[in-house]
């Protein structure tokens, strides 16, 4: 089967959102029970994880289209930003053709999910109905294999939370490089690039400093703030000499790895050091950092745009004894409490936990005394079951100033500073403490913190949208009138038709580009301050809208009512403009109001050095 897949950049004849549609002729007319499908899936893939059904297991039998829709929804979930469900239907006509619409904005991911899901659906039906495999040879464990492929295009958790908050505020988002986890929030001159929580205002030099723990520690010490005492060891013997010199306990770290990978803390003797060195060296072949252990609580100080937005005390995964239950039982109880809490990961038992408990003279069968806290990890990592507490109200002014100064010196707009101290309310000058790491992306693991970050880039009332005007069946003279009015307001105007693209006076694009592609080329350019798009009624019916919505639409009175209603639904304002008619005073006022809104949004946003690269 070779299904036809079409990508839409905005509302279209299938759905009110961007996405991809696949049209096909169902190869089977039979229906299957959910139980028979489950059994066949287990035969096909012994490594399948969660249930195939995105909701409750269906009670009724499923057609080919029903099962295909379920499988597409199953694989879509990890890369879904919004709650739009996959929808399906049938074309009206002589041929019994069906379609499935997948709400997704990235063509590579949509193609992967739609094509692979169809092959899997066909295989299940073939094996159950005919007893023979389908024409498409599947790889071993096809469900788990496709899950891994989709995971490679997965948004990070931070990106997913930020995208969801942006969606709730009406800020448009566009994938720049999904594999690189880079997105654009907003349009044209109001658009900003993000990679997770890092943004386009972060410097390359700062990024390099953050990625290397040796480089970053050198700068922290030169700034006059408390860094750590450490050296880089080439081999275990060298590590032992460094540890003896700086004194136990020590910490071993890779030079460049993040997410606490390869880190071992509170190493008390040479035997532990050998094993810890091997772990770090497996990630960091250029050498391993041997660092003097700093006692205290790990705090993440997050700075965005020169402002300290939050301070989180981070604790390792732990359980609190009650004098009755074993550590194993307490872990199980804690995991039950965390179920459904997106901010807390389950505590997983592994060899590292076994060793840590043994070091404390404990085992999973030990029963801690009432109120006794048992740390199950040596590092405070949320992804490993750690927890966080907001301590922003308690931070000492000196510690706040230190965080802001470090962000400035690293030339980073978004930065996460890991600061260990026993009391965050005491000045760094009056306590035993250290900045142990600086991170180029602070991590945004909840919606409240995501809102704080986006408010720095897009203040209240700023949705990141430039003025966008859509003309339907309008002559070139009308589009020129609109563009001229905007240009007279000193805006750099992008213009797109089905055959031409201009930014200011400069053409761009290929002859094969569609209107959707041409519009995207303009909103990706930070020099574009307004957009005028001209489309035919046939183009709108066939390809949908090139954006999720427009500010202002000018349509002819002769436009069929269903198309006119569709345009009005997805445009903030619409007015009639007949062939050869000049812009009325009310139309000009609407355009002037859009210019004023744009200037207000631009004034309230952090200034981008790229916006001034006007192309007029």
pLDDT category of residue 259 using cuts at 50, 70 and 90: low
Tens of pLDDT, residue by residue over 268-313, are 899 889 989 998 998 888 899 999 999 999 999 999 989 999 999 9
| Residue, of 489 and 106, whose pLDDT is higher | 489
Question: Of all residues in the chain, what percent carry a pLDDT higher than 90?
Answer: 57
pLDDT category of residue 78 using cuts at 50, 70 and 90: low
In degrees and rounded to multiples of 5, residue 615 shows phi and psi of -110, 15
Long-range contacts of 417-423 (CB under 8 A, 24+ apart): 417/300, 417/301, 417/302, 417/303, 418/298, 418/299, 418/300, 418/301, 419/298, 419/299, 419/300, 419/301, 420/294, 420/295, 420/296, 420/297, 420/298, 420/299, 421/296, 421/297, 421/299, 422/295, 422/296, 422/297
Q: Which helix (H) or strand (E) holds 22?
A: strand 19-24
Spatial separation of the C-alpha atoms in residues 491 and 330, rounded to whole Å: 63
Give me 372's structure tokens: 């006794």
pLDDT of 58: 86
pLDDT of 206: 94
pLDDT of 80: 53
Quote the pTM value: 0.84
Spatial separation of the C-alpha atoms in residues 441 and 417, rounded to whole Å: 10
pLDDT category of residue 339 using cuts at 50, 70 and 90: confident
pLDDT category of residue 103 using cuts at 50, 70 and 90: confident
Lowest mean pLDDT among 97-111, 113-127, 232-246, 416-430: 97-111
| Residue, of 384 and 309, whose pLDDT is higher | 309
Residue position matching structure tokens 């992008």: 494
pLDDT of 382: 80
How large is the average pLDDT for residues 310-337?
A: 93
> What is 468-604's CATH number?
3.40.50
CA distances from 572 to 253, 549, 551, 554 (A): 54, 8, 5, 12
Tens of pLDDT, residue by residue over 115-132, are 888 988 998 999 999 988
Tens of pLDDT, residue by residue over 427-442, are 999 999 999 999 988 8
Lowest mean pLDDT among 45-54, 359-368, 370-379, 533-542: 45-54
pLDDT for 79 beyond 80: no
Q: Which helix (H) or strand (E) holds 355?
A: helix 351-359
Report yes or no: 457 and 305 within 8 Å, Cβ to Cβ: yes
Spatial separation of the C-alpha atoms in residues 206 and 209, rounded to whole Å: 5
pLDDT for 412 beyond 90: yes
Question: Of all residues in the chain, what percent carry a pLDDT higher than 70?
Answer: 91
Name the CA radius of gyration of the chain, rounded. 29
Q: Where are the domains of the chain?
A: 4-151, 468-604
Closest Cα partner for 319 from 372, 359, 267? 372
pLDDT category of residue 379 using cuts at 50, 70 and 90: confident
| Residue, of 332 and 257, whose pLDDT is higher | 332
Q: Are strands 493-496 and 530-535 parallel, antiparallel or unpaired?
A: parallel
Tens of pLDDT, residue by residue over 460-502, are 889 999 999 999 999 999 999 999 999 999 999 999 999 999 9
pLDDT of 347: 93
């Amino acid at each position: 089967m070779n299904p036809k897949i079409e990508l839409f950049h905005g509302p279209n004849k299938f759905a009110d959102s961007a996405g991809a549609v696949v049209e096909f002729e169902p190869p089977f007319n039979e229906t299957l029970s959910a139980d028979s499908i489950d059994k066949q899936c287990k035969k096909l893939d012994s490594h399948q994880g969660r249930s195939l059904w995105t909701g409750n297991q269906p009670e009724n039998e499923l057609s080919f289209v029903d099962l295909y829709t379920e499988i597409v929804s199953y694989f879509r979930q990890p890369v879904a930003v919004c709650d739009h469900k996959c929808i399906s239907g049938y074309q009206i006509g002589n041929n019994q053709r069906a379609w499935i619409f997948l709400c997704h904005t990235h063509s590579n991911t949509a193609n992967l999910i739609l094509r692979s899901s169809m092959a899997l659906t066909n295989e299940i039906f073939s094996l159950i109905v005919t007893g023979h495999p389908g024409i498409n040879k599947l790889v071993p464990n096809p469900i788990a294999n496709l899950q891994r492929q989709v995971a490679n295009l997965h948004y990070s958790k931070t990106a997913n939370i930020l995208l969801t908050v942006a969606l709730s505020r009406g800020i448009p988002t566009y994938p720049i490089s999904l594999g690189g986890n880079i997105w654009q929030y907003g349009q044209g001159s109001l658009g900003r690039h993000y990679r997770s929580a890092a943004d386009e205002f972060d410097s390359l030099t700062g990024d390099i400093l953050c990625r290397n723990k040796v480089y970053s520690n050198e700068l922290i010490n030169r700034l006059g703030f408390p860094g750590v005492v450490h050296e880089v060891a080439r081999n275990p013997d060298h590590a032992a000499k460094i540890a003896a010199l700086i004194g136990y306990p020590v910490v071993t770290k890779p030079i460049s790895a993040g997410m606490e990978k390869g880190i071992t803390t509170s190493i008390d003797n040479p035997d532990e050091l050998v094993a810890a060195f091997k772990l770090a060296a497996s990630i960091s072949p250029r050498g391993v950092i041997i660092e003097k252990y700093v006692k205290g609580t790990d705090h993440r100080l997050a700075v965005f745009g020169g402002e300290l937005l939050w301070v989180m005390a981070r604790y390792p995964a732990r359980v609190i004894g009650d004098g009755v239950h074993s550590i194993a039982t307490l872990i199980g109880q804690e995991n039950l409490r965390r179920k459904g809490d997106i901010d807390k990961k389950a505590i997983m038992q592994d060899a590292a936990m076994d060793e840590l408990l043994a070091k404390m003279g404990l085992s999973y069968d030990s029963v801690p005394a009432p109120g006794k806290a048992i740390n199950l990890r040596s590092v405070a990592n949320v992804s490993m079951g750690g927890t966080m507490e907001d301590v922003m109200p308690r931070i000492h002014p000196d510690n706040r100033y230190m965080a802001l100064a470090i962000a400035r010196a690293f030339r980073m707009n978004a930065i996460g500073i890991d600061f260990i101290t026993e009391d965050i309310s005491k000045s760094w000058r009056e306590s035993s403490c250290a900045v142990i790491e600086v991170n180029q992306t602070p991590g945004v693991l909840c919606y409240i913190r995501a809102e704080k970050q986006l408010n720095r880039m897009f203040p209240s009332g700023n949705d990141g949208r430039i003025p966008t005007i859509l003309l339907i069946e309008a002559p070139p003279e009308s589009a020129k009138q609109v563009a001229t009015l905007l240009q007279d307001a000193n805006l750099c105007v992008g213009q797109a038709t089905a055959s031409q693209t201009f930014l200011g006076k400069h053409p761009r694009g290929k002859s094969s580009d569609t209107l959707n592609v041409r519009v995207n080329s303009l909103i990706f350019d930070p020099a574009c301050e307004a957009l005028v798009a001209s489309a035919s009624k046939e183009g709108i019916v066939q390809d949908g809208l090139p954006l999720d919505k427009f500010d202002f639409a000018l349509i002819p009175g002769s436009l069929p009512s269903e198309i006119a209603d569709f345009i009005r639904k997805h445009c903030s304002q619409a007015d009639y403009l007949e062939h050869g008619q000049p812009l009325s005073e009310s139309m000009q006022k609407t355009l002037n109001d859009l210019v004023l809104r744009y200037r207000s949004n631009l004034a309230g946003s952090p200034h981008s050095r790229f916006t001034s690269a006007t192309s007029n």
